[in-house]
Amino acid sequence: MDARAIIAKLRRQLVPDADEMRWFAQGLADGGVSDAQAGAFAMAVCMGGLDASARAALTLAMRDSGDVLTWDLDGPVIDKHSTGGVGDCVSLVLAPALAECGAYVPMISGRGLGHTGGTLDKMEAIPGVTTQVSEDRLAQIVADTGAAIVGATAQIAPADKRLYAIRDVTATVESLDLITASILSKKLAASPDALVLDVKVGSGAFMKTLADARALASALSETANATGCKTSAVITDMNQPLAGSLGNALEVAEVMRALTSGKANALAELSAVLGGVLLADAGLAQNADHGRAQIAEVIRNGGAADRFGRMIAAVGGPVQFVDSWARFLPEANVIQEVSARKAGYVTAIDGEALGLAVVALGGGRQVESDVIDPAVGLSNMVRLGDKVDPATPLAVIHAAREDAAQLADSEIRKAISIGPKPLAIQPLIHERILA
């Protein structure tokens, strides 16, 4: 086969067959396809699009460019993917809760880049935790504890790693087909029996409109189902941070409060909704509502917290973390409130701006090589609809230096709108697209 012929086919809006997709993906992985050819391929897909069968073929080809995990377990293997938001630490609640309900959860996750936080960065805010483990070690952790949250090895979907870097410099990141293949090639490499997709929409999400979120949710779920993985999608609101904090250690604290306090909040609620869908799709619950109740119960009774502790210890964290989590998490040098300075109601929150403020504090990355400060971020965030007066704190800043805190103060004030009347608040769950 010839890369030029495949690119020419796409340029003429013809669809490469599965063999051609496999050949091209392997060329991406082993260097047989040049950077110029990879860029031309990405642009041709971006401009002309793929039909559903070609999108599934590209996804499988990219998955099969590297290792595909296999399992010998006594229960279903299931997983979740979020398209990214702010204050979104669901994975750390959901993985142990699902394991407590009888599932196995090998959750291969990523790091933060841009305004959204990374699940691996949150895990590594816990002292001693390492998220880079071998495939053999991953299998052992999952068998022993039921769940693991780790990074992908270099052998997982190497074609995607190469193509993503090319897309980043060729203005083809936004292609729905390439986004779908990129996300699913990595998730399907873990060979899940069922997958749930949390597609975010709103000011703190990459998808700002419901129409765009719906298009992505449909593309992802249809493609994953076409490859044989039972997949549902839930479109969820990101017009305000999901949890009350942004920043790695601060979000771990939110997770621990959700797992140990027994109090209902948006983080626990969304974890139960997503988990309920997964348990139903995996045959561990009669339906999504029954599964939701199961997840809520293992969070309430402490079973999910105990499972989380086992998972953290298995990747090098403190054995007694669940019992004494507050003393293990790092704290920032400067902690100060941001007062509202006016009376009214919180009418809008620019989640992306808040996420970027955390990045500026050192809690995220502007380029991949940036080193993260796990202690910095924002806590005690106001919620949409809250009534405030001039002395009400909009947030609490956790910073390494006074000057960084002052800059964050200004950005937070610009990101939070206060009006004379409360506005209608969007529901947490917008739509479900079930398998």
pLDDT of 112: 67
**Residue 322: pLDDT band by 50, 70, 90 thresholds?**
very high
pLDDT of 393: 97
pLDDT of 263: 83
Q: 323: which residues sit within 8 A by CB, 6+ positions away?
A: 309
Task: Tell me the average pLDDT across 287-293.
Answer: 98
**Structural Rg of the chain based on CA atoms:** 22
For 20-24, 168-172, 329-333, 354-358, which range has the lowest pLDDT when averaged over its residues?
168-172
CB 78 within 8 A of CB 282: yes
- pLDDT tens figures, 379-426: 999 999 999 999 999 999 999 999 999 999 999 999 999 999 999 999
Strands 194-201 and 230-237: parallel
Average per-residue pLDDT in the chain? 95
Q: Would you say residue 368 has pLDDT above 70?
A: no
pLDDT of 364: 86
Q: 205: helix, coil or strand?
A: coil
pLDDT of 371: 85
- pLDDT tens figures, 134-143: 999 999 999 9
pLDDT of 271: 98
Q: Torsion angle, CA of 135/138/142/144, rounded to 10 degrees? A: 110
pLDDT of 120: 93
**Residue 38: pLDDT band by 50, 70, 90 thresholds?**
very high
HEC per residue, 45-63: HHHHCCCHHHHHHHHHHHH
Q: Would you say residue 187 has pLDDT above 70?
A: yes
pLDDT of 182: 93
**Residue 8: pLDDT band by 50, 70, 90 thresholds?**
very high
Kindly state the DSSP code that residue 116 receives in the 8-state scheme. B
Task: Tell me the average pLDDT across 289-312.
Answer: 97
**Residue 114: pLDDT band by 50, 70, 90 thresholds?**
low
Task: Tell me the average pLDDT across 74-87.
Answer: 94
pLDDT of 295: 98
Percentage of the residues of the chain whose pLDDT score is greater than 70: 99
Q: Regarding predicted confidence, which is higher, 116 or 402? A: 402
Catalytic residue list: 79-82, 119, 167, 182, 186-187
Between CA 266 and CA 254 the distance in angstroms is: 11
CB 138 within 8 A of CB 148: yes
pTM to 2 decimal places: 0.94
Q: Would you say residue 311 has pLDDT above 70?
A: yes
- pLDDT tens figures, 87-99: 999 999 999 999 9
- pLDDT tens figures, 242-278: 999 999 999 999 999 999 998 889 999 999 999 999 9
> What tokens were used for 39?
């860029």
Q: In what order do the strands lie in the sheet with 230-237?
A: 78-82, 194-201, 230-237, 429-433
Q: Distance of alpha carbon 42 from its chain centroid, rounded?
A: 24
